[in-house]
Structure 1
């Protein structure tokens, strides 16, 4: 039985990734920053095959904890920096855990025997820090794929900038280490929606779906989404988990970064579908998913199915 370590395996996306690997017969290690806070990860113990699950304390900045966590793993998934809109200090809450944590992880992995595959759960911000707005100079519905020049702006949200810079850290590591004994692959989902496996109240994705469904605007950013009827590119959380699983089990994709995306709708249509109503507009394809469909054989659900399922 192979062992996989999933950093951030109890969050909104991570829980689905944990569920997928347990279902496929893996022994799964999941990180927790605070083992005493069982509300963060308790739901994982109700998953099928949870007898093969182990929860370990880990902060990616802590080298000793990281070595202990990685020991015995053949696959490692790093998805430990969840989307975070609100913060008090960008450096300590966003930049340091995301960028310095990535550097530390790469260093420790490179010193660890037995690793075969590393999958980084990046973000569409690795390609465009303005998301969900278009990259500078581009039209809202202009096509964007993995070969489109990446865009970063100091005006973008610090979380997006941190994810962009973390991805550049991974790219630089790959460039500097030509003969690695393991493969590194990244996936970059757009706005992830769908049903949560837990009742955690700290999930930005779950909260955003609730806010849009009920037309609630707790801050200027959300109100601006409604006022402009912002176009949202969406992907189903189960499809993200499937893509991560397939990236971990597909050889010959070292160094690639896959956009994970289904369709794009204005936020007014997203609200309609969250309330099980038909959208007024047809879906648009802005961020492209052909590379993931070709290499990873992912079949992306239509956004209407994702949002209708959430409504149910």
Structure 2
């Protein structure tokens, strides 16, 4: 009998690919969604796996008893649901409460339930590793030993929404490991820390105006809204399909028990992305800024993914493959 995996935030960009990755490996998947309508959209996104996919409605993952029913018959949990809101105005309500309470409440519910959960994989973020106060930090090598030092109090006091988002990811991940250390549950926890997540759309998107943050980050580069090549903010990316497979590997591999992993393909710049778009889609040249074709990546920090490569065997697509597939997917949505 196949194991059943609960995947939170099932209607989202990354979660759709995580769902597909587990279904493709023969698992049964139960996805959490905020409404019946979202649940039906999730089912429609994976028609070839309808017999192995179901959903459960959880309007607010930060509610204390949110996961009680969802955990019945579950063998593993993949916690993807956490807001990526870079323009939040109420940091507590929009960022810290869902990120931190959603994670801790889930772990508490698993421990209190009779579910036979062996591992919880949490989709954290490179935001919990990078020090945002250090900027590009040329030559510095970030590893899983690094933690973002910005506290919740400092982030709120700053009034900076991006800083608050970065801090919320750090505090939520730390809360998960602290919970395991303090409560000694039967399950183990693994955290994956990806940077910007690019790639093709798999989840239901009503219109181009409802794109997730990272997909819109690509779309703006060829839709005519950017007249100049933007300054690159984060010098690493990962393909959503590679990240999804890493979730399966993190769930299955014994070495991943109570570990955190940087999941990142390579350094990149927006200049490289527009170069790819202009070369592979010449019809988009007029709406895609040119910049300085072939310009090298400026001096910046380095992301060391040795641990994930060794423990999980993660493999990565090239930036070209990721961007080409993302643009094809976005253009298809645009035409629809």
Please report the TM-score for the alignment, with normalisation by the length of structure 2.
0.81
- For residues 138-181 of structure 1, give each alpha carbon's deviation from its aligned partner in whole angstroms, at most 9, with x where no partner exists: 62453211123533262452222111110110121122134x31
Q: Quick one: structure 1 residues 143 and 266, their matched pair in 2 at CA, closer, same or farther if it must change by over 3 Å?
A: same
Match of 2:122 in 1: 120
Deviation at 1:120, TM superposition (A): 0.5
Q: Structure 2: which 5+ runs fail to align?
A: 281-291, 329-336
Match of 1:204 in 2: 213
- For residues 280-309 of structure 1, give each alpha carbon's deviation from its aligned partner in whole angstroms, at most 9, with x where no partner exists: 146688212111110000111122221122
Please report the RMSD computed on the Cα atoms of aligned residues, expressed in angstroms. 2.6
Deviation at 1:199, TM superposition (A): 4.3
Matches within 5 A, 1:61-140: 61-113=62-114, 114-128=116-130, 130=132, 135-136=133-134, 139-140=137-138
Match of 2:277 in 1: 274
Match of 2:247 in 1: 244
Q: Quick one: structure 1 residues 231 and 91, their matched pair in 2 at CA, closer, same or farther if it must change by over 3 Å?
A: closer
Matches within 5 A, 1:14-33: 14-33=15-34
Kindly indicate whether residue 326 of structure 2 is the aligned counterpart of residue 310 of structure 1: yes
Q: Give the 3-state SS of the residue equivalent to 1:216 in structure 2.
A: coil
The number of residue pairs the alignment matches comes to 300
| Preserved contact between residue 275 and residue 311 of structure 1 (Cα < 8 Å) | no
Q: Quick one: structure 1 residues 309 and 276, their matched pair in 2 at CA, closer, same or farther if it must change by over 3 Å?
A: farther
Kindly indicate whether residue 170 of structure 2 is the aligned counterpart of residue 169 of structure 1: no
Kindly indicate whether residue 200 of structure 2 is the aligned counterpart of residue 195 of structure 1: yes
| Preserved contact between residue 255 and residue 311 of structure 2 (Cα < 8 Å) | no
Q: Quick one: structure 1 residues 21 and 231, their matched pair in 2 at CA, closer, same or farther if it must change by over 3 Å?
A: closer
Q: Which segment is superposed worse, 283-292 or 205-214?
A: 283-292
| Preserved contact between residue 79 and residue 121 of structure 1 (Cα < 8 Å) | yes
Q: Structure 1: which 5+ runs fail to align?
A: none
Please report the TM-score for the alignment, with normalisation by the length of structure 1.
0.87
| Preserved contact between residue 7 and residue 31 of structure 1 (Cα < 8 Å) | yes
Q: Which has the larger radius of gyration?
A: 2
Deviation at 1:60, TM superposition (A): 1.7
Q: Quick one: structure 1 residues 183 and 285, their matched pair in 2 at CA, closer, same or farther if it must change by over 3 Å?
A: same
| Preserved contact between residue 9 and residue 32 of structure 2 (Cα < 8 Å) | yes
Q: Which segment is superposed worse, 25-34 or 192-201?
A: 192-201
Q: Give the 3-state SS of the residue equivalent to 1:56 in structure 2.
A: strand
Match of 1:299 in 2: 315
Q: Which segment is superposed worse, 140-149 or 100-109?
A: 140-149
Matches within 5 A, 1:138-153: 139-152=137-150
Name the structure with the higher helix share: 2
CA distance in 1: counterparts of 2:235 and 2:148, whole angstroms: 19
Match of 1:265 in 2: 268
